[in-house]
Chains A and B, each alone.
Chain A
Amino acid sequence: MSALRFTKDHEWIRVDGDTGTVGISDYAQEQLGDIVFVDLPDVGKSLAKGDEAAVVESVKAASEIYAPVNGEVAEVNQALADEPAKVNTDPMGEGWFLKMKIADAAELDELMDEAAYDAYLESLR
């Protein structure tokens, strides 16, 4: 079963078994503008929910990407080192940041599903 969840800080996590792929939403990439640099964590690093998982730098600003849940970094998207633009062109697909082994699947329930996230975005506009 694969489920997509969002945080209030505009990260998404797509769950597949006990692994989650993490990236930033289309709204987030649009707000950041052209992304020029992505700093990814080491594989094996354990992250608590809300910890800084990655750093993303755009022409406007540098921002942190936070871990949506507790877990351990299983894989990072090395392609972003050469082509950070992927975050802009395909934020929900090829522009993923990292995969993490989710410590406690129950934490996912605290995040928003797509409909709830859309409603949340609407409230920001």
Chain B
Amino acid sequence: MDRSQGRKSRTETELDAVMTDDSAETAIGHRGLQLEETLSFEQGSPDRCGVDLPDPPKTGNRLGGLARKEAIGLPGLSEPQVVRHFTRLSQKNYGIDSGFYPLGSCTMKHNPRLNERMARLPGFADLHPLQPESTVQGALELIDTLAHWLKTLTGLPAVALSPAAGAHGELCGMMAIRAALEARGDSREVVLVPESAHGTNPATAAMCGYRVETIAADDGGRVDVAAFRERMGPDVAALMLTNPNTCGLFERDIIEIAEILHAGGGLFYCDGANFNAIVGRVRPADLGIDAMHINLHKTFSTPHGGGGPGAGPVAFSEALAPFVPLPYVVHDRDGYRLVEHADDASGTPFGRLKAFHGQMGMFTRALSYMMSHGADGLRQVAEDAVLNANYLLARLSPTVTPAFPGTCMHECLFDDRFLKGTGVSTLDFAKALIDEGFHPMTMYFPLVVHGALLMEPTETESKATLDLFVEAVESLAERARAGEVAYFQGAPRFTPRGRLDETAAARRPVLRWKEPESAEEAA
């Protein structure tokens, strides 16, 4: 059995000795390979420089009064110092490349290295967005092929590829809905959002100028159809729903919901954040959806964050297709070309979301993932993601209290009833999981569940990894029941920093580096 993630690197006795023995304090404070990492500014020294620059030729100063009077403020560092600084920082990071990352609602799946290889092909990587179309036919074909896959998987006839992230995709979808309503002279003002919605949904609706109203959940964690039917009216522009929802449950009544919404003249936005649960199995078009964004970094394995550009394409129904923003790729017998101007468009695009065409690197990675999996492979992704989540749910249900009865989709949701009376909170429990070598699950979200713990294993993980995680959660629950409150409140211990004061960080954030005033302060 693969236990590489949880295998102890030392015996318990050795570890205990290190953790409790004060005499093990080293001369300079480092603990072997665990080094303190100061900021580059604190490491810098004016007598060091990583590069040899020739002295500037003697020329007259033409800057006049604009010449800088103070030092430029760059740290003086040698090349090895810079390399070590960033390497050590990267070692303090925890990512999907370092271990299991069951962060619910985030779909932290493996990023296949094949994607990276494809994205680095010079024909895709080294393009300039203003290059003549005749020289980028392959790249345009890739964009068109990706659009084709997304249309096929969603069953929806149009796609906008330019949005730069999920929330940007939401904005794109809601702007198209607004454009469609305005085109028919309809000035509806309200967007309905279920209680369990992602926080970005109401934010998007508000940003588009709509008033947000919440629809209650029923006892089973799904949208209360009766409450929705009751509220639906001629002032409702749209409903924003996530399916499966953030409780990890499939909205079974979604077709009825779509019918009520459409009969009342509203449009249906679906948050595609949880598409990983249904990709290849359910086509959103068949559920009556008018617009849905797709987080390529979730379902289609492009990297999350990291400061790089993201992509959140949006698929549109027939009703919204004419309003799809510019630019988009069309294909005729002369090859591929970009429709860049409203005058050339077949419909009435609502505008443009980005300066250029979207994130080519993400498009290449996502298409690489799709083509290497194939239709059957993508179906298996959804099946395995749901299977893994249900395995966790089944294994943990005797120990951790599930929020809702029955099976789940791609993520399983627990509440904090199992911690009742122990003095241990969901936060403490999550911190203790860090010491076990895992990234904690999502906590306190969705808000409809008390002390929520939301786990999304994704299809990436093997049964062995899940078993090890279950073992860790079970033993922590055991400790909590045994009354070891201090153990939890002291977690995490095996990290470069212990428990951080999140409250102080939020109330009195330090947003700018300041030179330490004294030696004590620097220490």
- Given A84-B507, A85-B507; A59-B447 close (CB under 8 Å): no
Of all chain A residues, which has the CB nearest B452?
A: A60
Q: What per-residue 1/0 map shows which CB atoms of B440-454 lie under 8 Å from chain A?
A: 000011010000000
Tell me, yes or no, whether A112 is within 8 Å of chain B by CB.
no
Distance to closest chain B CB from A22 (angstroms): 21
Contacts of A57 in B (CB 8 A): 506
| Count of interface residues, chain A, beta-carbon cutoff 8 Å | 10
Question: Taking the complex as formed, is A117 at the interface, i.e. its CB lies under 8 A from any CB of chain B?
Answer: no
Q: Does A1 contact B (CB under 8 A)?
A: no
Residues of A within 8 A of B445 (CB): 61
Among A36, A61, A85, find the residue whose CB has the most chain B CB atoms closer than 10 A.
Answer: A36
Are B503 and A36 interface neighbours, CB within 8 A? yes
CB neighbours of B447 from chain A (8 A): 61
B506 touches A61 (CB 8 A): no
B343 at the interface (CB under 8 A from A): no
Q: Which of A34, A37, A62 gathers most chain B CB within 10 Å?
A: A34
By beta carbon, the residue of chain A nearest B445 is A61
Dominant secondary structure of chain A at its interface with chain B: loop
Within the assembled complex, what's the spacing in Å between the Cα atoms of A37 and B503?
10
Note all chain B residues with C-beta closer than 8 A to A34.
502-503, 506
Query: Which one of A36, A61, A85 lies within 8 Å of B444 (CB-CB)?
Result: A61
> In the complex, what residues of B have CB within 8 A of residue A37's CB?
506
- Chain B residues near A36: list those with CB within 8 A: 503, 506-507
In chain A, what residue has the closest Cβ to B447? A61
CA distance A85 to B506 in the complex (A): 11
Of all chain A residues, the one with the shortest Cβ separation from B509 is: A36
Q: Are B444 and A60 in contact (CB under 8 A)?
A: yes
**Shortest distance in angstroms between A43's beta carbon and chain B's nearest beta carbon?**
23
A46-77 contact mask (Cβ, 8 Å, vs B): 1 or 0: 00000000000101111000000000000000
Enumerate chain B residues within 8 angstroms of A84, measured Cβ to Cβ.
507
CB A89 to nearest CB in B, in angstroms, measures 12
In angstroms, Cα B502 to Cα A37, docked, is: 13
Which residues of the other chain, A, contact B507 by a CB distance below 8 angstroms? 36, 84-85
The docked-state distance in angstroms from the alpha carbon of A65 to that of B138 is 54
Instruction: Give the shortest distance, in Å, between B382 (CB) and chain A (any CB).
Output: 30
Bound CA–CA A38/B273 (angstroms): 30
For B199, the chain A residues whose CB sits under 8 A away are: 62
In the assembled complex, the CB of A123 is this many whole angstroms from the nearest CB of chain B, namely 14
Bitwise, B498-514 to A at CB < 8 A (1) or not (0) is 00001100110000000
Interface residues of B (CB under 8 A from A): 199, 444-445, 447, 502-503, 506-507
Q: Which residues of A contact B (CB under 8 A)?
A: 34, 36-37, 57, 59-62, 84-85
A-B contact pairs, 18 of them (CB 8 A): A34-B502, A34-B503, A34-B506, A36-B503, A36-B506, A36-B507, A37-B506, A57-B506, A59-B502, A59-B503, A59-B506, A60-B444, A61-B444, A61-B445, A61-B447, A62-B199, A84-B507, A85-B507
